[in-house]
A and B are shown apart, each in its own frame.
Chain A
């Protein structure tokens, strides 16, 4: 599941509509919209509130399947040559108040411009001497990053920002924000559709785990012997071995009721042989 995070409802509305997300009440103050493959959270303005709400949301059982977090919203841009509506993805997030920097991994090919995004605590107004390099400003990204990175790795955090102004302090209407987001909807959704799903973790299945447990009880294995047997089972499965469950059960069943150190040693050796290790 992809988890979108927006500060304002006008930033979220085009996504809610297109992705057919439905509002769900999952906690006081959590404005969550959920569909089959996407969820969207509206956090309100500011890095602290964004961090708290993202952290709360990612602890919900309903969102356990989240594998990517995408912070989407508008931003100011220091470079007046950049057209309003240009879509950026941040390769570095600086937190203005603490000077800390955060780095989403840039592993996925994308169609956006890239820049540093600075998260400020109050709207940024351009000064007489803006730095020559292109800088974006928002009010949530560093909070979203810090909260989300507690739950998933930084290669799965994406910060997509649409230029809404050039820091002249103009008040932005809801309609302008909605229109800017609407205009970039297709390109953003195409990017989202290419984000990788989590690969299933390789491991023993439930039946194999149960058979191992049966073997442990039958042979009265110590904890360290159990770890060793588990490793053998993994090695066998990694090598493409089949019918692990029946092999484990067969060894467990072949044991005498009364186990001694020597019968246990023989059983373990038999198992190792059976698994071809």
Chain B
């Protein structure tokens, strides 16, 4: 198929066209067709879209977020984690196309929305810092929650802007930037920020190839995180979801071995592990919208409105991978979700 290039078209709300962040993004696409819209939802939320086809040639939408600049995520937090857990949505959708990702069930469009009114987000974050439930802890904010910001940094430098913002907030704000990218070079000129956590999601190569379409290889992700550690950044390793593919034990052993050979585990902030779980409505949407993937036809359990593993399977998967880190990472630095 003779596809137009990704981001060949940029849909832009008239009100944000001259914001500095919009101007910076638009400068990177001098040949793009610019289509003005009243509200990004006219394009993003319309009916009769094909997620599958759009993913092959995604477009960019530049918009202003009008409300909800920060979400309370404390219900996701377990045990003794920070009670001030929040996340935001700076961008909708992701440059990657992971077969197990809930975004493809959450949104009817595969196009990428970038909210460019960053000052509103910063104001809302300042307010949330002041009003945070526990003053004993900083506000903990995940800014790459429903997307992969670092993967998109060369287009929309959100990470750079937030790292600068964080520089004035030490002790009252911790920010996590989760990524599968190998794009640390985009940040390498910035001074490491003690209250910014760079969290790399890693999977065995066989999973990267089969399920994590458009993502960098495991080796390049590890190279990127190793550089971040060397530069003095706080780095988290995330292995989530741990997938029970054929030969999963060997695959995850190989993954952890490769990590431990590349980076001194004592220099890692911590390790987060998790298994597949997806809102059951999103799960059903994915089965309807996307080309079939075996993961969506295996035996799952439905629990509290989510599709996930049985407790036994969950324990087996997460404990096995946790054990691979024993002797290298203290158990209190391994979190299982």
The residues of A with any CB-CB pair to B shorter than 8 Å are 91-92, 101-103, 105-110, 114, 116, 149-150, 152-156, 194, 196, 202-203, 228, 231-232, 234-235, 238-239, 272, 277
B17 to chain A, nearest CB (A): 13
Scoring B residues 219 to 257 as 1 if CB is less than 8 Å from chain A, else 0, what string do you get?
000000000000000000000000000000000000000
Scoring B residues 46 to 69 as 1 if CB is less than 8 Å from chain A, else 0, what string do you get?
111110011011010000000000
Pick the residue among B3, B33, B42, B298 that contacts A107 (CB under 8 A).
Answer: B3
B211 to chain A, nearest CB (A): 12
The answer to whether residues A149 and B48 also contact, given A107-B54, A155-B54, A238-B294 and a CB cut-off of 8 A, is: yes
Identify the closest chain A residue to B56 (Cβ).
A107
> Which residues on A sit within 8 Å (CB–CB) of B54?
105, 107, 155
Please report which residues of chain B, range 294-313, place their CB below 8 angstroms from some CB of chain A when the two chains form the complex.
294, 297-299
Please report which residues of chain B, range 7-36, place their CB below 8 angstroms from some CB of chain A when the two chains form the complex.
8-9, 11, 33, 35
Bound complex: CA A228 to CA B298 (Å): 8
Check if A116 sits within 8 Å of B35, measured CB to CB: yes
Check if B42 sits within 8 Å of A105, measured CB to CB: no
Identify the closest chain B residue to A101 (Cβ).
B42
B310 to chain A, nearest CB (A): 14
The answer to whether residues A235 and B294 also contact, given A91-B9, A154-B48, A277-B299 and a CB cut-off of 8 A, is: yes
The residues of B with any CB-CB pair to A shorter than 8 Å are 1-4, 8-9, 11, 33, 35, 37-38, 42-43, 46-50, 53-54, 56-57, 59, 291-294, 297-299
Pick the residue among B1, B291, B297 that contacts A108 (CB under 8 A).
Answer: B1
Pick the residue among B33, B46, B53, B298 that contacts A91 (CB under 8 A).
Answer: B33
Identify the closest chain A residue to B48 (Cβ).
A149
Bound complex: CA A234 to CA B293 (Å): 9
Bound complex: CA A55 to CA B136 (Å): 63
The answer to whether residues A114 and B1 also contact, given A239-B294, A277-B298 and a CB cut-off of 8 A, is: no
Bound complex: CA A105 to CA B48 (Å): 10
Nearest 6 Cβ contacts at the A-B interface: A235-B297, A153-B50, A149-B48, A231-B297, A234-B297, A107-B57
Identify the closest chain A residue to B50 (Cβ).
A153
Bound complex: CA A91 to CA B3 (Å): 15
Bound complex: CA A137 to CA B275 (Å): 54
